[in-house]
Amino acid sequence: MKKIFVSRLLPDAGMELLRNSGFEVDLHAHSDPLKPEALRRRVKDVQGLICLLDDKIDKTLMDAASKLEVISNMAVGYNNIDTEYAASRGIAVCNTPGILTTATAELAWALLFAVARRIPESDAFMRSGKFSGWQPLLMLGGAVSGKTLGLIGSGRIGTAFALMSKGFRMRVLYNGKRNPLLERKLGAENTDLDTLLRESDFISLHVPLRESNYHLIGKREFSLMKTGAYLINTARGPVIDEAELVRVLKEKRIAGAALDVYEQEPQLTPGLRDLDNVVLTPHSGSATTETRRRLAEMAVQNCLEILRGEACGNRVV
Ligand code: DGY
């Protein structure tokens, strides 16, 4: 009987599908990831691996799993997997696209407002008992309506995020593949990166992590941004040079940043936690009950389809 290893406890709907799959299932029933060596031991004789974005699935891991037929990532991003090596070994790799688009776009807006209107800071202030009444200069933040929104990446999540701006009557700039929908619905302008950085009040990142996007936003890019600009990252941490980000936030070279993903995830870059012009969330883009349930179902379904020799629409290799 084929065997599947699941690297973390999944939402119930996914576990249920696995229980009824007819395959043998081994589960790491904890919320923390396994260390690489322990993960290698657990995949030794499995055909299916269901993993998460913080499991590093590299050549060493795959070499330890001689029977492996499928790696099913419960995430749309798959930068944690050496897909080239998987392809050379004939191992299928699947992801979970589409499902988390809206949830992630919504979180990007939540972050945008949280940092612009200083929501976490205001909340902490209220709880501290320091509020002594309305004051003209208390907790002033940045306005959103009518401002310029800069979108880096024009794929599914970036598009959903931009379309949600409609009620705020924003000028929308985007950098990435031409997107006729954004142009038609919002009059969005496709610009080069430097123009977008110079002209945007809010810059939101929606690119996958590839070698070409590593530190896409670094010293030079920060120097082009407006002093009143806010940067939002719900994509992948290493897209930003976070040491530089800490420096520009400290110097108030930009107004603020809101991050859901981190360069050294789950570690925070030194200095980040001490700043009050940054809002931090724990990689929660897809963290709605509905979305996580559907992600788990899709990740399991992808794995089962490959193991059963059926067609799977979510293969990346
Ligand atoms: C993904 O699926 O890549 C997301 O980052 C998970 O929230």
Q: What is the pLDDT of residue 6?
A: 98
Check if CATH label 3.90.1520.10 holds for domain 101-280.
no
Q: How far is ligand 1, taken at its centre, from the CA of residue 112, in Å?
A: 18
- The structure's pTM equals 0.96
Atom of ligand 1 nearest to the CA of 104: 7
In angstroms, what is the span from residue 285 Cα to ligand 1's centroid?
7
Instruction: For CATH 3.40.50.720, list the domain ranges present in the chain.
Output: 3-99+289-307, 101-280
Please identify which of the residues 28, 42, 118, 236 carries the catalytic annotation.
Answer: 236
215 is catalytic: no
Cα of 108 from ligand 1 centre, angstroms: 13
What confidence tens digit (pLDDT) does each residue in 258-300 have?
A: 999 999 999 999 999 999 999 999 999 999 999 999 999 999 9
- All residue ranges of the chain with pLDDT < 70 are none
Q: In what order do the strands lie in the sheet with 278-280?
A: 189-190, 171-175, 148-152, 202-205, 230-233, 256-259, 278-280
CATH of domain 3-99+289-307: 3.40.50.720
265 is annotated as an active-site residue: yes
